[in-house]
Amino acid sequence: MSDGVGNLPRGPARILKAAGWSWQGLRAAWRYESSFRLEVCLLLVLGPVALWLGQSGVERALLLGSLLLVLAMELANSAIEAVIARYGNEYHELAGRAKDMGSAAVLLLMLNVLACWGLILGPRLF
């Protein structure tokens, strides 16, 4: 019985192949998802600010990591939407629920960004 991975390359070749697929996913998100493009632009602006304003490695990791989590969840949300679109545009309650939950996950991670940035930088500003 096959384990389903017999045809995949092994070792470093497999890592390179996986990296290629990841790069394809990032390119597709940039090309087709305006929310992803906006969040990347925010990362490009706020990422250096996070590294500059963070006073320790932990603070920098929280400030920058919270931004990266939003991007990661946006990719997952876009994947959910793409799979649902694959099966058609007609309304289905479960499809709508899945899309709403994916969107809610992105929202929660955006609130996490506000919480991290507010808790770390707020006391310095006020």
- Residue 74 falls in the annotated catalytic set: yes
Q: Is 41 helix (H, G, I), strand (E, B) or coil?
A: helix
> Hunting for tokens 């989590």 — which residue is that?
69
Per-residue tokens: 120:
């770390």
Which class for 26: exposed (0-12), middle (13-18), buried (19 or more C-beta within 10 A)? middle
CA-to-CA distance for 124 and 126, rounded, in angstroms? 6
104 is in an annotated binding site: no
81 is in an annotated binding site: yes
97 is in an annotated binding site: no
74 is in an annotated binding site: yes
3 is in an annotated binding site: no
115 is in an annotated binding site: no
Catalytic option among 39, 59, 74, 93: 74
17 is in an annotated binding site: no
Share of the chain residues as helix, strand and coil, in percent rounded to the nearest 5: 85, 0, 15
92 is in an annotated binding site: yes
What amino acid is encoded at 111 in this protein?
A: L
Residue numbers annotated as active site: 74
**Binding site feature residues:** 14, 18-23, 27-30, 33, 60, 74, 81, 90-92, 99-100, 103
**Binding site feature residues for a divalent metal cation:** 33, 81
**Binding site feature residues for ATP:** 14, 33, 81, 90-92, 99-100
**Binding site feature residues for substrate:** 14, 18-23, 27-30, 60, 74, 103
